[in-house]
Amino acid sequence: MSVDTESLADASEYFTECANRVLARRHELGRPLLAGVFQNQDPEYVAHVARAVPLDLVQLHGTEAPEAAQLIPVPVIKVFHVDDSFSVDAASIEKRRCHSLILLDTKVAGTEQQGGQGVGFDWSIARKLADRGIPFLMAGGLTPDNVAQAVAVGRPWGVDVSSGIETDKTKDPAKIHAFVKNAKSTTTTC
């Protein structure tokens, strides 16, 4: 069956299996997984770095085509930048055998830099993926104060945070603790 005609159940099964493999790898290694974050870099360079370090995961956080993930020797988290015009149905989010995990993050208008801007998106957009049974990660404007609500509305498999746990552009241990506590306080099923 070709990628373009896969059923929704197949996409759900594929991404669930990928998520389970990532968890199994973490359990097997007995340590957190090391992810490298890249934005709009040559996939061959990313693959080289993944092998040389070595990395356990790669996050493609730019506008790379999902197919770029096929050149990378470790599981790939592919970001999809979400704004008011974003449609889960129109995105190439569900292309199988490309990326292993999906990350939804805010598309910030007027800047090339995406991520780490502290800007959120409509979490009900993320919920559409959860309703399809597709596990995903969610980022974009998450803070200790809103992560529990974001998890309750979007029902992600995991969350990603950067500037939301900083004070004066430095990671703040108290905010990290509060973020983790609040993120874990909401139970969901993906």
Each residue's pLDDT tens digit, 24-82: 999 999 999 999 999 999 999 999 999 999 999 999 988 888 888 999 999 999 998 88
User: How would DSSP label each residue in 110-159?
Assistant: T-S--SSS-----HHHHHHHHHTT---EE-SS--TTTHHHHHHHH--SEE
Bridge partners (DSSP) of residue 105 are: 81
**Over pLDDT 70: what percentage of the chain?**
84
What is the C-alpha to C-alpha distance for residues 8 and 133, in angstroms, rounded to an integer? Answer: 9
What residue type is assigned to position 25 of the chain?
R
154, pLDDT greater than 90: yes
What is the C-alpha to C-alpha distance for residues 117 and 115, in angstroms, rounded to an integer? Answer: 5
pLDDT tens, 99-134? 889 999 988 766 665 565 667 888 998 998 899 888
47 vs 92, more confident: 47
What is the C-alpha to C-alpha distance for residues 117 and 108, in angstroms, rounded to an integer? Answer: 8
Here the tokens at position 20 are: 């389970």
What is the C-alpha to C-alpha distance for residues 174 and 190, in angstroms, rounded to an integer? Answer: 28
Q: What is the mean pLDDT of the chain?
A: 85
pTM for the model: 0.83
Closest to 16 in 3D by CA, of 107, 116, 96, 74? 96
189, pLDDT greater than 70: no
Number of H helices, E strands in the chain: 5, 8
44 vs 186, more confident: 44
Bridge partners (DSSP) of residue 73 are: none
The pLDDT of residue 137 is 94
What is the C-alpha to C-alpha distance for residues 157 and 7, in angstroms, rounded to an integer? Answer: 21
